[in-house]
Structure 1
Amino acid sequence: MRNLELEMARRAMEKVEEVANEAQSKQEYLTLARKLGSMIIQNGLIGTITYLKNKSQGSVILGHLNELVSQQIPVDISRPECVPERDYFKVQAVALEASKWLKRYAEILLKE
């Protein structure tokens, strides 16, 4: 794995471990983490962000996703209007990679 991927994996694990300490939010986070990649593919990044903003644990996973993406591309995905049009697909690809790591660690650390 490349260093950027290893760093993203490490940060994703830290973020999911934070959620693992909160008993009431684990199940909804796990559900959203499992769906996140397919939501990005089906609805695009902007549609997924809009959906997550309307869910109770959505703001948490959106914050984690934003942090992971912004480590590789300096952009705030929680404000999609700030994503330059020329970089949209690149940002979406990095978000998809980040969602993969969030899902992996959520399934490992949050499964009961």
Structure 2
Amino acid sequence: MIEVAKKAAELVGSIQKDRKEEYLQTVKGLGSLVIQNGLFGAMLFTIKKGPKEVIDHLDQLIEIKTGVSKLSEKVKNGDIYQQRYLQLQIEALDCIKWLKRYAEILLGGDSA
């Protein structure tokens, strides 16, 4: 888990100043989006609406936690089986928590 937290801090810290507000708002709502629409729906929505960095960062964190690389590509192609999907959704929510936490700390916004 420490590796995920460190990577999340690194990734969020790399966000350009002109992109920070959009990134922060997207990450703050992403957990709710996953709970309401499932991981696939939330990822597809975020792939379509952006910012691109959110999906890139989530892909990297999920790979650290689960070993599944480029999850967003697998989602777009429908290459995840149902049993694995539920586990990935739980892990993704944990990764989103870390992105949100560091986005609020490093990019501004209300406390968690």
The corresponding residue for 2:13 is 17
User: Runs of 4+ in structure 1 displaced over 6 angstroms?
Assistant: none
State how many pairs are aligned.
105
Tell me whether 1:91 sits opposite 2:88 in the alignment: yes
Structure 1 residue identity aligned to 2:91: V
Q: TM-score, normalising length from structure 1?
A: 0.88
Distance 2:20 2:104 in 1: 10
Please, which of 33, 40, 48 is the counterpart of residue 46 of structure 1? 40
Please, which of 59, 62, 68 is the counterpart of residue 55 of structure 2? 62
Q: TM-score, normalising length from structure 2?
A: 0.88
Structure 1 residue identity aligned to 2:79: C
Contiguous gaps of at least 5 residues in structure 1: none
Note the C-alpha offset of 1:53.
Answer: 1.1
Q: Secondary structure at the match of 1:71?
A: helix
Structure 2 residue identity aligned to 1:33: V
Q: Aligned-residue CA RMSD in angstroms?
A: 1.2
The corresponding residue for 1:74 is 67
The corresponding residue for 1:106 is 103
